[in-house]
Amino acid sequence: MTTSAIIVAAGRGTRAGGEIPKQWQMLGSRSIAAHAMQPFADHPGIASLVLVVHPDDPGDLWRDTPQAQIIAGGATRKASVMAGLAALPAGTTQVLIHDAARPLVSAAIIDHVLSALETHQGAAPAVAVTDTLWHGAAGHVTGVQDRTNLYRAQTPQGFHLAPLLAAHQMHDGDATDDVGVARAAGLDVAIVAGDESNIKVTTPGDFARAARLMGQDMDIRCGNGYDVHRFGPGDHVWLCGVKVPHGRSLQGHSDADVGMHAVTDAIYGALGQGDIGQHFPPSDPQWKGAESHIFLRHAVGLAQAQGYKISNVDCTLVCEYPKIGPHQAAMKSALAAIMGLDADRISVKATTSERLGFTGREEGIAAIATITLVKP
């Protein structure tokens, strides 16, 4: 048996809203169709993939999909499926047909369909209806439908290729799914276990639901930052955006806000985008005496441009003096305002180094920071 999969992505998806058809809208870092294709691309039982697209859709929509043969679909779902069937590689004996708007299909569902095809001409996943079903008219309940033996159909729907081709050729009119076409030709179609998560993205609310269900696949990144500035003459230090009176000042090319520099470098680190020195070279006179929020805002902007949200920040200042406790809340608020975060996602804390080393001798202040970025 050689099994190919057809992903039908030629629909217009008007009910979901948005500028482009729903299957090409983004869900996290990839299009819905790309998510829908990946389990087939990864499955050892699937030899090749055919992606059926709408002839009017531009090719950059499917730039992030797994490797597939791209075929132009027809005016109806049935015509698109037939175009996909005609394009299957020679030697294909079984086909799984999947809707590109179901991004949460699992390897387990594909397994179920494939094993049922060993003993049936067709097989498709479904979940039993558990809600009570009503008949209604003009906003009133007019009757109750017995839900025994009722199922909600899902995809992928799998078939032996030869009988399905024959069924499509003799079926006139459109069909909402391939099981309908197969059954009209008298094929035996087994019901296998679907999954409540295998939803079809149809309405605007389905995007958020799919994103929640996909939560375990979030792209999570951690970064750390470390910085040191030495003391020199002066009467205050800038720490995490707060001016703290002190008998000396921190020296540096900018305002020497060692805490904010550590936080900024943690963001650059999480993104794999170098450090402050790379983005704001000390050799460039325009950054002399610069306020450090410029650096932090730049790093936050880079993260946002790549689709990341900052989940939390933890910054530790290492010094004997000044005492940080009285300024902790103000530092959290200052960082929160610059980063556009709730203050409860920010931690600023301090430790001494037990009079050991350069911080213990009060020659300077060190700061370390850890940050988490999340792309849903």
Would you tell me which residues interact with Mg ion (CB under 5 A)? 227, 261
CB of 328 to Mg ion, least distance (A): 21
Q: Identify which of residues 101 and 263 has a Cβ nearer to Mg ion in the complex.
A: 263
> How many CA within 13 A on the CB side of residue 257?
26
CB of 254 to Mg ion, least distance (A): 7
Query: Which residues share a beta bridge with 367?
Result: 227, 317
Q: What SS3 class is residue 215? A: helix
Q: Identify which of residues 78 and 261 has a Cβ nearer to Mg ion in the complex.
A: 261
CB of 294 to Mg ion, least distance (A): 13
Q: Identify which of residues 102 and 261 has a Cβ nearer to Mg ion in the complex.
A: 261
Q: What SS3 class is residue 168? A: helix
What's the rounded Cα separation, in Å, for the pair 70 and 59? 10
Q: Identify which of residues 5 and 237 has a Cβ nearer to Mg ion in the complex.
A: 237
CB of 215 to Mg ion, least distance (A): 36
Q: Identify which of residues 57 and 255 has a Cβ nearer to Mg ion in the complex.
A: 255
The answer to whether 295 and 335 have CB atoms below 8 angstroms apart is: no
Instruction: Name the residue with tokens 């090719």.
Output: 59
CB of 229 to Mg ion, least distance (A): 6
Q: Identify which of residues 35 and 246 has a Cβ nearer to Mg ion in the complex.
A: 246
Q: What SS3 class is residue 22? A: helix
Residues 6 or more apart whose Cβ sits within 8 Å of residue 194: 109, 125, 126, 127, 152, 154
Q: Where are the alpha helices (DSSP H) in the chain?
A: 32-42, 77-86, 107-116, 161-170, 178-184, 204-213, 258-271, 276-279, 293-305, 328-339, 357-360
Q: Identify which of residues 4 and 254 has a Cβ nearer to Mg ion in the complex.
A: 254
Q: Identify which of residues 120 and 293 has a Cβ nearer to Mg ion in the complex.
A: 293
Q: List the one residue out of 347, 337, 293, 351 whose CA is nearest residue 315.
A: 347
CB of 262 to Mg ion, least distance (A): 8
Torsion of CA 283, 286, 288, 294, to 10 degrees: -110
CB of 252 to Mg ion, least distance (A): 6
Torsion of CA 188, 189, 191, 197, to 10 degrees: 180
CB of 317 to Mg ion, least distance (A): 13
Q: Identify which of residues 6 and 262 has a Cβ nearer to Mg ion in the complex.
A: 262
CB of 359 to Mg ion, least distance (A): 15
Q: Which residue number has the CB closest to Mg ion?
A: 261
Q: List the one residue out of 20, 7, 14, 214 whose CA is nearest residue 97.
A: 7
- Within 10 angstroms of residue 139's Cβ, the number of other Cβ atoms is 5
List the structure tokens of 326. 């009285």
